[in-house]
Structure 1
Amino acid sequence: MRILILGSGVIGVTSAWYLAKAGHEVTVIDRAAGAAQETSFANAGQISPGYSAPWAAPGVPFKAVKWMFERHAPLVLHWTSDKDRLRWMLEMLANCTSKAYARNKSRMVRLAEYSRDCMDDLRAETGLSYDNREQGTLQVFRTQKQVDAAAKDIEVLRKDGVPFEVLDRAGCIAAEPGLAGSAHRIAGGLRLPGDGTGDCFKFTNVLQEKAAAAGVTFKYGVTIHSILSNGDRITGVTTSAGLMEADSYVVALGSYAPQIVQHLGIRLPIQPLKGYSITAPIVDEAKAPVSTVMDETFKVAITRLGGRIRVGGLAEIAGYDLSLHQRRRETLEKSLTEMFGGAGDLSQATFWTGLRPMTPDGTPIVGQTPYRNLWTNTGHGTLGWTMAAGSGRMLADLMSGLQPQIDPSGLAVSRYGRSAPETRSAAPLRPATI
């Protein structure tokens, strides 16, 4: 089957890899000059299945109001009259219940845990190297209130069989010795030993080379204009390089996915969640993190990437604005200085921003659309790097008519209601053997 993938971030490239391994003829197109040039370029660097949780959670509406008056707020809402953004915010608020949170987190952890297993297999098969470490994630709580609030997450982790360790101050420092200088700021922690770290940009580009060697065609500098349809089938994609046709199509365009499918009658409830990162060279190994430390107060991840420290996080709901704001940099620097003071040279740090494609329930949109030969792999929010391998493998199985190794229910766009046109019954799936 000839497959055309729109988008060459980590999601598009991993999808291409698994589809090529399944025996399909795959082409990937992107407006950028190479792979992983946008959202995948300088993300936080953590692969954290156990930390997979929706931003929509009980208490968030109250916190959002409080954060409006804080200089170093982890979430910033910009007022807008845009109807799509307002509708998305209302949908997110509707998911801030205990029942919705438990449902959404369970879906996310299911896919993320599977993705970790797929990543282990992929690394073993290909020997990929991308400044990766498999030494867990430590979520650090600065207050007892944060420690107590973690109970609901621990309950879901226990239910889903995800390994975890609840640590006191001494336990946190034992896991991450670089925290010794900030012991007075630590009330406790939650360690997820199955999590890992790595440079998403390096991973995506190395995997792209492997995929190209396996027969995948990558075409860069190609602007996508529109998707053409006839009835319940897609017939082609118009681009700056002309009309491109295939048997099936995959939309892996991150925050820009809703725009390309809107005229087809498909509503992807995705908003760009603007995030920031700084990357600084390590100047004191003893004070640097071993793996990833999540600073719960600022919702910031501090990650070791070889000889560098990546500090990433924060969120602004501000549309497609890519301007860099000094105040956000100050928040990232504050978190690093207070947790791992003296570990990195902030005067040499690079500052970056990207748009994460966020759904109102936090769960990505992976699966078939109402069009028989159009599929989506997008909406991963802050967890695209964490869920990339599992999403790509599951999508490849579904498109190949195989039964995925995890339950795909609740992940496709159909969970938001029916879009036009009507779909026919799909053929029964066969067990996956890849």
Structure 2
Amino acid sequence: MTIGKRLFLSFLAVIALNLLSYKFIFENIIVEQIKTDRHEQFKQEMDAAAKVRLNQLLRSYHFKDPVESREISEQLPDDMMYVITIEDGRGNTMYTKESEAYRLKKDSSKKVVSEYHFEHDSTSLGTTIIRFYTDDSDILATKGVTMVVIYIYGSVIIVGLLLIFMLVRWILRPVNELSVLTQDIKAGKREVSFSYKANDEFAALLHSFADMVEQLRISEDRQQELIAAIAHDFRTPLTTIKGYASYIASGRITDIERIRRQMGKIEQKVGDLDELLDELQDYSRLSNELPLTTNRFRLHHFMRQISEEYKTKVRDAGLHFHSKIRVSPELHIEADEFKLRRVLQNLLNNAIYYNKPDGSILLTCDQRDGQVVISVIDKGEGIAEDELPKIFTKFYRAEKSRNRNNGGTGLGLTICQSIIERHQGQITVTSELGRGSCFTVSIPIHQ
């Protein structure tokens, strides 16, 4: 059921509730109470008539003297409108008595509200008639109150109808606009704009929707870059492998040493492809958290292996490498040794690539406050301040990487962050454009 239909049914329910309230509260209670207040004399009339009915004078006198009428009238309140008439057995009027209230409103329109006939011992002796009146002001007052109540309820219903109509328009306008935008997004459009400018919850919802679409657009753009980068990263080593394999297969090389060197290069490129596949496989597991295979190992020995491995690589790149491993040789930690190695390899590879000619890289390892703190510090180009919050985002590659078309999936730092967080640790970065960067990994010693 649509919101409009629900609101319409709610409005009908409100109207029904109002009508029932009028029927059983206003009409039956308030209006009746007003009528009772305005016509209290009705009860007084009945009481007065009962007194007359019980009066023994009506049975003992023959109504030849007006004294009887005086005695009857003295029993009736003078603020009531009444007329006492005494008729003989033939219907001739013998005596008439009007109350003071009746005489004051003699010229106004009146209505008999009750009439009492008291027969004497025999119909031939005559009849006493008492008539009680009410004027138009009482009647109009009662009708006026009823009309006021009807007017108030009618006004409430009309105003309520207008308010609900405005509410429906207010609700459905942004909803309809959001529906149109959703269809546009479904059709492939990624540029979102909306005309709803109010400062309310719906505007906040539309802005959030626009932000979501913008993030979707950025993610799609980065995935396109990822596809291009993967194609490039696969093509480059495959081209090298194909070239060396073709050269060896041609038979033009007979020197075993040269063949061995070229096979070594083929093996190196296959290793590059293997690393790329590992990275893509880890990315596919990011949504379900990367599994860890922890083991206990000596941290000093582990860091010494990393240092020896990259000492040659850094120097071959024309850079200077230094390491400071300041932990006890007997310190053991529980971690996934293979994945921790991948994190450090990724950070060191980035430090090599984003460095300056004749630059330097420093690898440090310390024990601090129950944690292992490992830092990779380079004196390279650094990272712009506005790019720092984005570097751990999926598919993000720095400006230099995009400009040089070096490939790279843009998943390295994202995977590094996921691995370290799975170790209950954290990875942070500080950088200054033109002066270098410092990536720091901290993980607890005891987990």
Q: Same fold (TM over 0.5)?
A: no
Which structure has the highest strand share of the two?
Answer: 1
- Higher Rg: 2
Q: Which structure is richer in relative contact order (CA contacts within 8 A, separation 6 or more)?
A: 1
Which structure has the highest helix share of the two?
Answer: 2
TM (norm. structure 2) is 0.21
